[in-house]
Structures are given as structure tokens and as C-alpha cells.
Structure 1
Amino acid sequence: MSEKDTHDILAYYDGGAEIGRLERGIGKIELERSKEIISRYLNKSTHVIYDIGGGVGVYSSWLAELGYEAHLFDLSSQAIEFARQQQLNKPIISKLETADARNLDRKDESADIVLLMGPLYHLTEQKERVKALQEAARVLKKGGTMITSAISRFGSLLWGLSVYGECNTIVEEDAFMDMVRQELTDGQHVRPAAYPSFIARSYFHTPDALRADWQAAGLPKPRVLGVEGPIWIAPGFEEKWAIPAHRRRLLDIARQVEEQESVIGMSPHMLAVGTKS
């Protein structure tokens, strides 16, 4: 990762990119489904959870409210400060630290669950992603669960097509399609200057590429699940999501196809889940 890429990534998150993201648009599906999947691995033996690259602490706060000892780590000092300010009236996250996912100040085998919900996006070389995965595995207890998030390689293209119409012709713009072609070719996302609101320098995975990162780190082959699935492209999604019966139906659809290999890539986000032996 070059110094420029690191600077751009920190500027993106220091600028508040994650504040409220999971409360609007398809971020609502990501939050609901991620909580659902994580919840499957919470049990009576779970006490300490490390949320590595956890941004402004959305998942840490939720887990702390459930009674777990949640530790939040993020490279962005501004994200950590925002999370800290949110705790002022109700301090619930046990520890909040500015930290690099590749080098954590924690003892070996000190967490029951480790969430790696952001770092794999922005470590654009596999050797760096492997370091983050191995560090997460180091601090995870034997028998513990590791859950890592990745962005789908097909997300930008599918988003562009989903908004394509009379009011949005982004797929006709060369800068956008050049970006998409590179993503589809090698997973490297380079944000064009024309779209400053797009996510900063990243690596986008296929399900197989996500499994390959785990295996390169010496970890067992994980389960890979689509988070949002294909439901985010439903016409009038916002209106349907607001109606409880429709929301339940959409979530049921996402659940039914979460491990269908031919559909996983349609999900903007994927989660890889594995147990440390």
C-alpha cells in the first residue's frame, strides 16, 4: 500500500464516510443481515469480542449492549473519536483504540470472536491481507470464531446498472466503466477523480478470492455467505423495506440464497466465517 493510498483511505474515513452509512439505503440491509449472521455465533461461552477495523463502532456498540466485552480497533483516529463521543452518556464499549489490523496490542488467544469487518477492503495486496488475517487468528482463542467482511467485485457494475435510467446514465461515462473494467479484471478499485464520494482505494473480492486469502494465511477454508444477496436491486426497495411484512420477505429471500455460489457475487458484501482449530 503506497503512502498516497493510505492517506486517501484515512482522509475518506476521517471525513466521516461511515457515520450513518448503515442507517440509510442498502446499508440497512447490510446492518440487519450482518447482525443476523454474527448472532448465529454468539453463545454462552462468548465473552470477549474484538471488532477490528470497526469504524465508528456500530457493531461494537450493538454487541456491548447485548452484554459482551467489545473492543473496537480502527486505523482512523477520527472514527475512534466519534465512537468515543457516542459513548459519553452510556459508556459501553470496553476498549476503543486506534490500531492497525496487522499489529494489535493484544495477547495471543484473548478473544472468543474476532470481527474483521473492514481491513480486507483496503489492503490491496494479498500479502497484507494475509498479515491481517494471521493477526486476527493470533488473538483468537482455539475454538473461537472469525468473521471477515469483503466487498464483491461485481458491486460497482451491478449498482451502475441498478440506477441506470433517464436520470442516471453513469454506465455511459467512460471514467466509471474504466473503473469497473479494472475491478472485474483484478479486483483493484481505483476511485476516479470524477467520483470523490466513491469508496477510497480498495480491493474487491470474488467468493473464491476471499477463500484464497484465508487459505494463504494458513486458515481452514471458510464458509462464504452473501450479506445483502440480490434483494437490494428490488424496485422501490426503500418503500418495501419500511413495511415489516415486506422486509421479512426480502430478508427471507437473502437468507435462502446466502450460500448459493452462483448468487453470492450479486451481494455487495460477503462474510467469510471460520473456526480456529
Structure 2
Amino acid sequence: MPPSLDPHVLAYYEQGREDARLAPVAGNEADSRLEFWRTQDVLRRALPAPPARVLDVGGASGRHAAWLRADGYDVELLDPVPLHVRQARAKGIPAREGDARQLPEDDDSFDVVLVLGPLYHLPARADRVRALAEARRVVRPGGLVAAATINRWAVLHDGLLKGFFFEAHRREHTMKVLRTGHQDSSTDLFTVAYFHDPAEIPGEFADAGLSRPVPHGLEGAAWLTGGMRERLDDPEQRAVVLDALREVETEPALLGVSGHVLTTARA
């Protein structure tokens, strides 16, 4: 039996909001669209040529798997949330239930393994390293592993931007997260989660046997900039924003500004 999913995490995602959140459509929140487009941008530069075989672990409703398939990749999706599996299948994506810590796949069977959500919801470091080690196990020697993390400081930046940091009980909760990285189920802002200090990421990758990790800040400071939603609605201005973020994506001093970090490494 694979490890079980925290019931609070399951309940959160069974609300069905994740598919719409990542939709890169006009008017959607700037941070969500930047997360999607910048993930796509970093991966397209790191991936081997299609039709490489890709395992999308924790791939949710298949937003990323869909464009990967359109690009010509042979993609399979695993996710622990039954609703996500159904949504991915509705997009024509081969999908089944599975846990990042115990992948039902053979050794050395994929060219790429994506871990774009599971590390958020594994509070124990040992479980995060286990998930990364499983990705390393099933990817071919020299293959690509890419894993996403939420930044420790994102909860503070988001609170200042959206105003909830000025509510005393939420401010207290935010400060606890900043100190520990751990978010419990007592807040309505998200669900049980772990937020990484970017400095932690290389050690977890190394302990999983992954070499040369390269962290990429996805949203940079753009997600905190006024008027960004409207700029992203305009294709020309959006291109300027994405080009600017690409220029500073691996600058160590700026990694903590992004909401998310996408780290690539080789098996």
C-alpha cells in the first residue's frame, strides 16, 4: 500500500479549484499565470527533445501534462487525488492514482520526472527526500528531474499584497510559518504544507542522489507588482515580463522573492 495522503490536503484539492487556478487565461490572477508560464518556460529549455517519456508526479488535473503532450512528449500522470485523475483523463491524458513517495514504476523507465506539487505537502524532510529519491529511481541515468517548491517568504509577501497580514490572527500564523516553514490545517488560506527556504533545496536534492541542482525563481518580483494582471493580459507586455524574469531566474539573491522555485537536476 502506498503512503496515505493527509486528509486535509485531500479535502482541499477535492474542492476542484486547482484546474481553474492554473489556467493561463486573461483576467486570472497574476501569480497563478506567472507560475504556469514560467514553469512551462523553464521546462521547455531543460527537457530533452520529444517524444521523450515524461512522468508527471502530482500532476493534478493535467494542466502541464496537456501542453507537454501537445509538444509531442509521451506523458503519464500520477496524482493522489481522485478528482484530479478524472480531470486529467477527461483531457485525454493517461492518468492514475499514485503517491510520490512510492512510485508504481520500474527503475530507469522515464526520460523525465516532474514533481511539481508533492513537495509542498510533505512536511517531513525524510518524506521529501524519499519523493525525490523515487523520482531519481525511475528516471534513466542522466535524465531530468524537476521539482517545485513554495518559498518560505511567499506567505509574508502574499499577506502584505492581499491584506491578510494586517489581521492579527493571520499575522501570528504567518510569523509561525516564517519561523518553521510548516503550515497546519488551522488556516483557511491554504492547507497542510511545507514552505522551503531556498537554501534548503540543494541539500534535499543531494540526499536523494540528484546532482547539479539548479533552482529557478519563477515569479520574481513581478507577482508583487501593481497592475501586473493587466500587463499579462497584453501579449506584448507579457513577453517583456517573461523575458525580464528569465534574466534573473537563477540569481541567488532573488530566489526568495518568487512565490515558487523550480529546481532542475540530473540523475
Pairs within 5 Å for 1:6-155: 6-23=6-23, 24-25=28-29, 26-44=31-49, 47-85=52-90, 87=91, 91=92, 93=93, 95-155=94-154
Does the CA-based 8 Å contact 1:56-1:79 persist in structure 2? yes
Structure 1 residue aligned with 2:266: 275
Does the CA-based 8 Å contact 2:52-2:73 persist in structure 1? yes
The answer as to 2:263 corresponding to 1:258 is no
Shift of 1:5: 7.7
Structure 1 residue aligned with 2:228: 237
CA distance in 1 between partners of 2:47 and 2:208 (Å): 24
Deviates more, 1:251-260 or 1:134-143: 251-260
**What are the Cα deviations for residues 173-207 of structure 1, in whole angstroms up to 9, with x where unaligned?**
122112211211121112434x2xx2210000011
TM-score (norm: length of structure 2)? 0.92
Q: 1:107 aligns to what SS in structure 2?
A: coil
Does the CA-based 8 Å contact 1:175-1:192 persist in structure 2? no
**What are the Cα deviations for residues 72-99 of structure 1, in whole angstroms up to 9, with x where unaligned?**
00010111012112x3xxx3x2x21100
Unmatched segments (≥5 aa) in structure 2? none
Shift of 1:163: 2.8
Shift of 1:171: 1.8
Does the CA-based 8 Å contact 2:144-2:264 persist in structure 1? yes
Structure 2 residue aligned with 1:163: 162
CA distance in 2 between partners of 1:13 and 1:269 (Å): 19
Question: Residue 227 of structure 1: which of 218, 228, 231 is its match?
Answer: 218
Shift of 1:14: 1.3
CA distance in 2 between partners of 1:18 and 1:98 (Å): 17
Alignment RMSD (CA, Å): 1.7
CA distance in 2 between partners of 1:253 and 1:96 (Å): 35
**What are the Cα deviations for residues 31-72 of structure 1, in whole angstroms up to 9, with x where unaligned?**
111000000123336520000001011111111111111000
CA distance in 2 between partners of 1:191 and 1:17 (Å): 18
Cα distance change on mapping 1:220 and 1:69 into 2, 3 Å: same
Aligned-partner residue type, residue 137 of structure 2: R
Does the CA-based 8 Å contact 2:122-2:128 persist in structure 1? yes
TM-score (norm: length of structure 1)? 0.89
Deviates more, 1:67-76 or 1:170-179: 170-179
**What are the Cα deviations for residues 109-130 of structure 1, in whole angstroms up to 9, with x where unaligned?**
0000110001100000000111
Identity of aligned residues (%): 32
Does the CA-based 8 Å contact 2:57-2:115 persist in structure 1? yes
Runs of 4+ that moved beyond 4 A: none
